Amino acid sequence: MANFEIPSIDIRYGQYNGTKTNSYYFWYYLKELYDWREKTGLIPNIKKIDSITIQVDIGTRVEAIKEILLMAAYDYLYTFENEHYVTSVLEYKKDLQVPAILIREPKGDKQRDIFALFNTAAENRKGSLKRYIGESYLVSDIDDVFNIQNEAGTRFFTNTVQGSKKDGLRWIETQTSIYTQNTVRYVQYYNNQTFNINTDTIVEETTETLNEFASIKEELESAGINELLLPIDHIATRIFHQDREDAILEIVKLTHHYPWGAYGIDEMDSSTNPTRNVYHMAEKYSPAKVFTAGNTGDFLQFIAQKPNPTEVFCINFGRSLHHIAYDIKEDEETAPDNHNIDKVINFMTKKGKTSPGGLTGSRAEGLRQIFMKRSELTGWVTEYVERFEGFHGFFTRKNVAFLTEAAGKDEGLRF
């Protein structure tokens, strides 16, 4: 590699944005991965993110569902089970083909699950099973995708594709990433099937529980909030500083993402790095994957003398999902005096959902955002974002700095 000239920034999928610089290593291998994806035909095979999976602690699934129904305006669809898990499926408006949210609850045996082992190494997760598992990507030819990735050395939990055409679903899942501790699952449906459903595995929720789910929806609709809450905008993972470039390159290898840019936040000693889908489809159909990393190792903070909430988060919580962001419908009717995001936050505050830092941004700046307090049920932070008048970009440096500091305070992290 040392014999090659320094590569230029490859912008075949769009301009690279931001202020954070990357290494020669990053740009060299990014171009090689782009070329490899085109040569193998991987990209036309990967359509979009089909679903995300979250694992919760035993006995908390129903309460976690109720929280998501309230804060994200998704609808409860059904619950199914297998030998190891009970899984509930939430969808956003039946006719809109956006990623579903799967909430799975282990049936027991903590040591059987590799994610439980990850939690034992994170001080603030010990004794818990809650963990973000990863995304499922809808593909058009799963055998082709598996062969491409297998030949490229990608490690899977199984040696063959699982499921069958008869059952309506085939899938295969990568082993857990050493950089993010998430997995990537590829899935192909047949015969108009969705998810791994067999009528013998359906779990019937109690009438009381179903009534509670319906009541939440009715309250959102009555308050006019349901129509303001849009699908997932981005999924944000926090990683150690030394893993930043490899985590981004790994998602490029496995999926249809490309690095959109990166912003260095010097005062928080971190950087935020969005990756977006190469089709440039709206995020609601295939959310962005965002990676936030510290710039300096925690062991050097006595010299750097800067807050470093991202690095400390990874020590306390492990490499993991930090937040899921939901888009808010832009207020065009009463602009520029009002913002729909303010209406949403006022409602959530009345429901006991608060924010550690409040709102940041404005219509003039192009977007307005907020972090809510970390959920004890799911383990993640909910973010809301409202963009104005066709805002060009993904976020602003100012907002990211504000939100990074607010999250650190919420988590009680040592600065």
| In the chain, domain spans | 45-221, 224-410
Q: How far is the C-alpha of 307 from the C-alpha of 291, rounded, in Å?
A: 18
Q: What is the mean pLDDT of each run of 10 residues along the chain (415 residues)?
A: 60 90 94 97 96 95 98 94 92 86 86 69 80 96 98 97 91 96 95 64 94 97 96 96 97 97 91 95 94 92 87 90 94 74 96 92 90 93 91 81 79 52
CB under 8 A, 24+ apart: contacts of 202-206: 202/78, 202/79, 202/80, 203/79, 203/80, 203/81, 203/86, 204/79, 205/62, 205/76, 205/79
**383-400: pLDDT as tens digits:** 999 999 878 778 888 888
pLDDT in the model for residue 111: 47
Element of type H or E holding 11: none
pLDDT in the model for residue 11: 85
Against a cut of 0.85, is the pTM above it? yes
pLDDT in the model for residue 383: 95
pLDDT in the model for residue 136: 97
* Other beta carbons less than 10 A from residue 194's beta carbon: 15
**257-296: pLDDT as tens digits:** 999 999 998 888 999 999 999 999 999 999 999 999 999 9
Contact 247, 180 (CB under 8 A): yes
Q: How far is the C-alpha of 270 from the C-alpha of 404, rounded, in Å?
A: 9
Question: What is the full DSSP assignment across 147-177?
Answer: HHHHHTT--BSSSS-EEETTTTEEEEEBPPP
The token pair at 80 is: 């199914």
Three-class secondary structure of residue 367 per DSSP: strand
The token pair at 87 is: 């899984």
Q: Is 163 left (phi over 0), alpha (psi -120 to 50) or beta?
A: left
pLDDT in the model for residue 167: 84
pLDDT in the model for residue 117: 74
pLDDT in the model for residue 415: 40
- What is the third-level CATH fold of 224-410? 2,3-Dihydroxybiphenyl 1,2-Dioxygenase; domain 1 (3.10.180)
CATH 3.10.180.10 for domain 45-221, yes or no, is yes
